[in-house]
Amino acid sequence: MEEPVAKLIAMAIAMGLGSLGPAIGIGMIGAKGAEAVGRNPEAASKIQNNMILAIAFAEAVAIYALVVALIIKFV
């Protein structure tokens, strides 16, 4: 059975907008982290740990968007 077009468009919008924010956020985290390491190389390990944690939280938002898109698809 073919899916309605509106459902496919809703899935695309949910994933597109839901992954746009985390992508921008991860890019900003990487840029500011590199800038911070450039200013203070001795604190690189501390900065790296904080960057990894922040990226994990930003990526969680994209996973929520994927879950919403899958719910739209199968419900």
Question: Hey, what domains does the chain have and what are their CATH numbers?
Answer: 5-74 (1.20.20.10)
Q: Tell me, yes or no, if the pTM score tops 0.85.
A: no
* 26-34 long-range contacts, CB within 8 A, separation 24+: 26/55, 26/58, 26/59, 29/54, 29/55, 29/58, 30/55
pLDDT tens figures, 2-27: 778 999 999 999 999 999 999 999 99
pLDDT tens figures, 33-74: 999 999 999 999 999 999 999 999 999 999 999 999 999 999
